[in-house]
Structure 1
Amino acid sequence: MSSERFNIVLVLTVMVIATLHMQVSDAQNTHTVGDSTGWTIPPHPNTYKSWAASQTFAVGDNLVFNFPTGMHTAAEVTKDAYDACNTEKPIAVWANGPATVPLKSSGPHYYLCTLPGHCSAGQKLAITI
């Protein structure tokens, strides 16, 4: 193989490896719900809606619900339960904070706090992956 051909192959190989590395790096992001606000009764009812609109979620990412254990929960629920703030039959509940929730499937996902009155006060999150 000529040195010019070898250099071209080497450059292409490096480019492919760099591209794969960027895809792997981008494949998993951690999203701290509410950023510095954390997971709490929000100061404004649209706090989590606005936060979610500023994010791009992908399968393989993680949500981190930052809350002190005993003060809140994070629960994944159905859309109907989310809309009604119904906490009776959650899909999953995380009671110890901070809670890391892996995003395993595409589509809409709904979360809320199961403590009385918290969801109706705006402590709920809807995202689309």
Structure 2
Amino acid sequence: MGFASTDLPTLLMMAALFPVSLGAVYMVGDSAGWTLPILGIVDYNKWTSNKTFHVGDIIIFNYKSLIHNVREVTPQNFKNCNATSPIVSYESGFDAITLKTLGHWYFLCGVAGHCQMGMKVDIKVTPFSPPPTASPAPAPISGA
């Protein structure tokens, strides 16, 4: 079974967007994507609360580029919803970002009023902790 010729461009695009990584891939906001959190469709604080992010993980912002964007900002600018001097700006509508360092990564929408309405996310990257291993069984006591 081979690939159809139309699959090759898709595979090449995926390879470019998602470099080899041992990390997990997260779609910010899950099926809601990166959007205004109106009507309770998405709560980005709640979305991050049940996830553990590690170095090498990839977060994807999926949004309508004509009405939203993504700005990585400093902690102070995140707190104040200030997008005027971002660290990095994204505007493609489908931005894959590899988390390369430990600590907090702060993102918000730079469109006026969107951050104030809750379109911001704090991604905390923690050290990887391997799952605990089972303790070895005690050696049997030999009889005399």
What TM-score do you get using the length of structure 1 for normalisation? 0.76
Aligned equivalent of 1:32, options 27, 31, 35: 27
Matched, 1:78 2:74: yes
CA distance in 1, matches of 2:34, 2:104: 19
Q: Percent same amino acid at aligned positions?
A: 36
RMSD of aligned residue pairs (Cα, Å) = 1.9
Where do 5+ consecutive residues of structure 1 fail to align?
Answer: 1-24
Is the deviation greater in 41-50 or in 26-35? 41-50
* Partner SS state of residue 27, structure 1: coil
Q: How does 1:53-68 map to 2 (within 5 A)?
A: 53-68=49-64
Residue 36 of structure 2 is matched in structure 1 by: 41
Contact 2:59/2:98 (<8 A) preserved = yes
Deviation (angstroms), 1:69: 1.7
Change (3 A) 1:66 1:122: same
Shift of 1:56: 1.1
TM-score (norm 2): 0.68
- State whether residues 45 and 121 of structure 1, in contact with CA within 8 Å, keep that contact through their aligned partners in structure 2: no
Q: Offset at 1:27? A: 2.9
